[in-house]
Amino acid sequence: MSEENETNEEETNETAVPAPEVIAEEKPQAKVTEAAPAAEEVPAKDADATDAEAKEAPAKKEETAEDLLKSDLEGVKIRRAKGSKNITVGVVNVLATFNNTKVTFADPRGNVISWSSAGKCNFRGSRKSTAYAAQVVTQDAGRTAMSHGMKEVVVKLNGPGMGRDSAVRALQSMGMIVTEIIDVTPVPHNGCRAPKRRRV
């Protein structure tokens, strides 16, 4: 009986000991193999998708903005004036006073090609002296000049008004190449007597 009990105990010990070890080894492996791919795949897909979307979104915006600018410029170039003068280089005179803004496009000799003013563009009263009015005026005169083939311009700024900077920016946004910006505002070196001061 003692031998049989010992053999039974040995068999039970042998069978009982390896079983938990096998189960313990299999469970962690199963968890690692199942959890690892899920954790790696999801962020990788999300990161790729977000990177791709982030790259595509700005590219689309840039293309649309460039297409709009090109379409505007093409529309201006297509409208060739009757008897166009084919003048590629010219001079832009911007007279920006406190009350108005006038823009004149001329050829290098000084012959006027196109001109515009805030009053011509339907601005009235205090609106004539604004920076927005100067932008509209420059675009109005610039379209006509571009229809004659003008591409490069020398800008001459005259006066202390608000339309000085906005006129130059409007020229660049239209696609013209600004080669020089010159300030030709007349400054007296103690010449004529100044008018009396205003009493406000």
Q: Are residues 53 and 106 in the same domain?
A: no
Which residues make beta-bridge pairs with 177?
152
pLDDT grade for 183, boundaries at 50, 70 and 90: very high
Q: Are residues 50 and 74 in the same domain?
A: yes
Tally of domains in the chain? 2
Q: What is the pLDDT of residue 149?
A: 87
| 6-10, 20-24, 178-182, range with the lowest pLDDT | 20-24
Residue at which a domain ends, from 21, 43, 78: 78
Dihedral Cα 13, 15, 20, 23, nearest 10 deg: 170
User: 3-class DSSP state for residue 124?
Assistant: coil
Distance CA 18, CA 40 (A): 34
Contacts of 19 (CB under 8 A, 6+ apart): none
pTM of this prediction? Answer: 0.57
CATH code, domain with 179: 3.30.420.80
- Label each residue of 61-112 as H, E or C: HHHHHHHHHHHHHHHHHHCCCCCCCCCCEEEEEEEECCCCEEEEEECCCCCE
How does pLDDT run across 19-68, given as a tens digit for each residue? 444 444 444 454 444 444 444 444 444 555 555 555 555 444 444 444 54
Q: Are residues 70 and 93 in the same domain?
A: no
Query: What is the mean predicted confidence (pLDDT) over 190-195?
Result: 92
**What is the β-pairing status of strands 89-96 and 112-117?**
unpaired
In a domain, 199, yes or no: no
Residue at which a domain ends, from 78, 108, 129: 78
The residue range of the domain holding 103 is: 89-183
In a domain, 73, yes or no: yes
> What mean pLDDT value characterizes the chain?
74
Residue at which a domain ends, from 49, 78, 107: 78
Whether 70 has a pLDDT exceeding 50, the answer reads: no
In a domain, 84, yes or no: no
How does pLDDT run across 117-142, given as a tens digit for each residue? 999 999 999 899 899 999 999 999 99
Q: Are residues 93 and 63 in the same domain?
A: no
Query: In terms of pLDDT, which residue wins out, 85 or 129?
Result: 129
